[in-house]
Amino acid sequence: MKKIALLLTAAFLMSAVAPVYAQMTAEQKNQCLLESKNCANEVNSIGQKIKKLQKEIKKGKKVYSEEDLKKLNAKLKEAESLLNSMTEGGQ
């Protein structure tokens, strides 16, 4: 019974957060990815952040300027470094 209540609560909370991200403009999404600004209630694990950055980098120059791609790559390296330091015990 507790398990079902927990699952329903989790599903409700997830449904409340999803529309907020969907309502973000393209500019706000870019700011969130590039500058970590205007990320209205978006919470990602480090792994999710890495996957999202890799996906955006793959779009390349069709979508992003050279400067933006450099920022995305820097963010990716930062996230990968953080993940490595966490998994290797800070060594």
Tell me the pLDDT tens digit for each residue of 13-65. 555 554 444 566 777 777 777 766 666 655 668 888 899 999 999 999 999 99
Closest CA to 81 of 70, 90, 72, 68: 90
Q: How far apart are CA 33 and CA 56, in angstroms?
A: 9
Tell me the pLDDT tens digit for each residue of 56-65. 999 999 999 9
Q: Where are the domains of the chain?
A: 1-43, 45-91
Tell me the pLDDT tens digit for each residue of 59-86. 999 999 999 999 999 999 999 998 888 8
The single-letter code of the amino acid at 3 is K
The single-letter code of the amino acid at 75 is K
Q: What is the mean pLDDT of the chain?
A: 76
